[in-house]
């Protein structure tokens, strides 16, 4: 799992399962700090390069988006592939990611 920032766009890549997210939580915090310090009010989260998701990965993504909202940053998922959409629905995250 990696997070690459380009302005106010976060490019999520790789394995967003329990295995992939455990070692990279700090990068999520750093990305929010960067946007906040730039005065950004929105965050596009590009999910195009996510290879795999599970409950742990979706929970972390949801918490990260909520942390952004608490900082006054409005996150939005974009380029969500069909596999991730299916995982969101099957794992019960439809309300958390209502704009997908």
- Per residue in 63-74, pLDDT (tens digit) is 999 999 999 999
Number of Cβ atoms within 10 Å of the Cβ of 91: 15
User: Structural domain boundaries of the chain?
Assistant: 2-90
CATH superfamily of 2-90: STAS domain (3.30.750.24)
Chain segment 24-63, per-residue pLDDT in tens? 777 888 888 888 778 778 899 999 999 998 999 999 999 9
- What pLDDT is stored for residue 99 in this prediction? 67
Distance of alpha carbon 7 from alpha carbon 40, whole angstroms = 9
Nearest residue to 91 (alpha-carbon basis) of 55, 61, 56: 55
**pTM for this structure?**
0.87
pLDDT of 8 strictly over 80: yes
Nearest residue to 32 (alpha-carbon basis) of 82, 69, 81: 69
């Amino acid at each position: 799992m990696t997070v690459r920032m380009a302005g106010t766009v976060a490019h999520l890549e790789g394995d967003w399962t329990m295995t992939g997210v455990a070692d990279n939580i700090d990068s999520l915090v750093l990305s929010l700090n960067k946007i906040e310090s730039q005065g950004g009010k929105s965050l596009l989260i590009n999910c195009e390069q996510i290879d795999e998701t599970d409950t742990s990965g979706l929970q972390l993504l949801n918490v990260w988006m909520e942390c952004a909202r608490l900082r006054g940053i409005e996150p939005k998922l974009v380029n969500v592939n069909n596999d991730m959409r299916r995982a969101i629905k099957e794992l019960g995250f439809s309300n958390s990611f209502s704009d997908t």
